[in-house]
Copies of this chain bind each other. A is one copy, B any other.
């Protein structure tokens, strides 16, 4: 199937991790011209943004944009402030939770969707392995879709905006299997909270453990580059 100017458009949030790579491949399979968006919110390393650019190109996005939002100004997370990333997850909401991150990323995707005339926003939000993040629940996505239809010209002009989270109810093993089916090159993705400058993973943080367990549970050999 070739991409044509009449294909409908989708904005796809691409982080550089494995989940959003699978989401991009799914949106392409659905026939959308995909506009990949990464939000740089003051992450402590840039290797995931480099992975996002690689993944976007490899999976046929029309373009990949990076919007910078410096959340270090408001602090509050081990991912953006001087709080140590823990090796072992505890109970409750983890310190790696970035306040309102998904709300902020979806808001920027909403703005770009409006500029592009795209009625679809795809994201990799997942409720199964969500580690207690409040903005990874189905009710959150539904509320954002409702907000998006009130916030933009789409709502005024009467065509509906959709926010798609196709991985919402998948386990990490399901996501690995779906990526294998769609020929996603997982070696090009970076999930680790502590990845080094070359994008190599630490193997010890929550994100690494979830990812490694997913490959084991799916019975797929793990192509991750570890330190």
Using CB atoms and an 8 Å cutoff, list the residues of chain A in contact with chain B: 65-71, 73-76, 93, 98-104, 107-108, 110-112, 114-115, 134-135, 137, 139-140, 143-144, 146-148, 150-153, 155-156
Contact = CB atoms under 8 A, between A and B. Distances in A.
Given A68-B69, A147-B140, A147-B143, A135 B111 contact: no
Contact of A111 (B100, B110, B152): B100
Given A68-B70, A75-B115, A111-B100, A140 B134 contact: no
B112 A99 contact: yes
Given A74-B111, A115-B74, A152-B135, A147 B103 contact: yes
A97 to B, nearest CB: 8
A98 B137 CA distance: 28
Contact of A74 (B70, B99, B112, B156): B112
Main secondary structure of the interface of A (DSSP, over half): helix
A74 B108 contact: yes
Nearest to A154: B134
A119 to B, nearest CB: 14
Contact of A139 (B75, B101, B144, B150): B150
B112 A151 contact: no
A149 to B, nearest CB: 9
A93 B143 CA distance: 24
A93 to B, nearest CB: 6
Contacts of A103: 107, 110-111, 147-148, 151
Contacts of A69: 67-69, 108
